[in-house]
């Protein structure tokens, strides 16, 4: 019994100290942001990693997200709801939830694993120590460009996802579900609110931060050799996915119950 309580206590202390170190890292990254112009080349390189490197995955995921949403929406609506609402259902689902969350999970996992493995390898091979000895702050040189690249580019990737998913839903509806083009487009325009799109993008902005922080934090705190890099990469991805889902719930309450509720 004592051992179980001690284990729980250690777990709580580890979680609290980990959160504290994570917040200190975030603070350090924010404080390094005035150097962003000097680090523009590194930031652009990292933005390229997020956007260009993820694009094939974004296209495939988004097309099928749109198509599957259309098929399942038609299945649920056919007996009770007019088909003119199909475009509305697809656009609202994609803008508010599917686009931001799926991109955070799919592109985010790839990015988070990339950050954790790259920085973790640098840690275990003493490259981070070498940088520190050269009086170059790894928080500025490595963490800050990665953080802002993720925060700025995950919303951009989400916009692509939204557009491609709507297109995928349109193609699936028109070609295979016997819904006319005009009816689908009418549904898209009906009940459209800027706050749907904006809310989704605000979510993906925060998701970018969560993904980057998880990858950078676990990468910087890697211990051991190759096994340690594998462990920290796995932990970073799992932590990022869970945090995105919890964050999605909290942001949904703040954005759609409080901020946009009156608009």
Partner 1 sequence: MKQDWDIPPPPNQRVADPASFKGIVVEGVSKRFGPKTVLDNADLLIHKGETLVIIGRSGEGKSVLLKHIVRLLEPDAGRILVEGAEVGALEHGPLMELRKKFGFLFQGAALFDSMTIAKNIGLALEEHTDWPADRIRARACECLAQVGLVGAEDKLPSELSGGMKKRAGLARAIVMEPQYILYDEPTTGLDPITSDAINDLIIQLQKELGVTSIVVTHDMPSAFKVGNRMAMLSRGRIVFTGTVDEVRTTTHPMVRQFIEGRSQGPLGAF
**Binding interface with partner 1 (CB under 8 A):** 121-122, 125-127, 129-137, 141
Q: Which is nearer to partner 1, 41 or 262 (CB)?
A: 41
DSSP state at residue 85? G
Q: Classify each residue of 85-111 as buried b or exposed e, where b means 16 or more C-beta atoms within 10 Å of its C-beta.
A: bbbbbbbbbbbbbbbbbbbbbbbbbbb
Shortest Cβ 149–partner 1 spacing (Å): 15
Q: Which is nearer to partner 1, 14 or 126 (CB)?
A: 126
Q: How far is CA 205 from CA 62, 108, 111, in A?
A: 18, 12, 14
The two tokens of residue 239 are: 């932590």
Q: Which is nearer to partner 1, 42 or 196 (CB)?
A: 42
Q: If we measure between CA atoms, which residue out of 192, 135, 140, 148 comes closest to residue 166?
A: 192
- Give the C-alpha separation, 207 to 213, whole Å: 10
Q: Which is nearer to partner 1, 123 or 203 (CB)?
A: 123
Shortest Cβ 48–partner 1 spacing (Å): 14
Cβ-contact 113, 49 below 8 angstroms: no
- Give the C-alpha separation, 168 to 81, whole Å: 21
Shortest Cβ 125–partner 1 spacing (Å): 6
Shortest Cβ 153–partner 1 spacing (Å): 20
Shortest Cβ 145–partner 1 spacing (Å): 13
Q: Which is nearer to partner 1, 125 or 180 (CB)?
A: 125
């Amino acid at each position: 019994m004592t051992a179980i309580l001690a284990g729980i206590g250690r777990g709580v202390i580890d979680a609290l100290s980990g959160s504290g170190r994570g917040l200190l890292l975030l603070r350090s990254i924010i404080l390094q942001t005035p150097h962003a112009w000097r680090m523009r080349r590194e930031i652009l390189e990292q933005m390229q990693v997020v956007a260009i490197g993820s694009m094939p995955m974004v296209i495939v995921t988004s097309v099928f997200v749109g198509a599957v949403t259309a098929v399942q929406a038609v299945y649920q609506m056919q007996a009770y709801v007019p088909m003119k609402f199909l475009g509305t259902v697809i656009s609202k689902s994609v803008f508010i939830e599917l686009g931001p969350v799926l991109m955070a999970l799919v592109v985010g996992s790839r990015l988070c694993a990339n950050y954790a493995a790259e920085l973790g390898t640098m840690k275990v091979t003493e490259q981070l120590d070498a940088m520190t000895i050269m009086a170059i702050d790894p928080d500025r040189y490595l963490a800050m460009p990665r953080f802002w690249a993720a925060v700025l580019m995950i919303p951009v990737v989400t916009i692509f996802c939204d557009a491609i998913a709507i297109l995928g839903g349109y193609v699936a509806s028109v070609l295979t579900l016997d819904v006319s083009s005009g009816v689908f487009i009418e549904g898209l325009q009906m009940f459209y609110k800027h706050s749907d799109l904006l809310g989704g993008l605000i979510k993906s902005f925060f998701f970018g931060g969560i993904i980057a922080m998880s990858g950078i934090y676990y990468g910087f705190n890697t211990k051991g050799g190759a096994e340690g890099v594998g462990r920290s990469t796995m932990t970073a991805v799992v932590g990022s996915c869970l945090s995105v889902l919890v964050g999605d719930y909290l942001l949904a309450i703040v954005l759609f119950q409080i901020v946009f509720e009156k608009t």
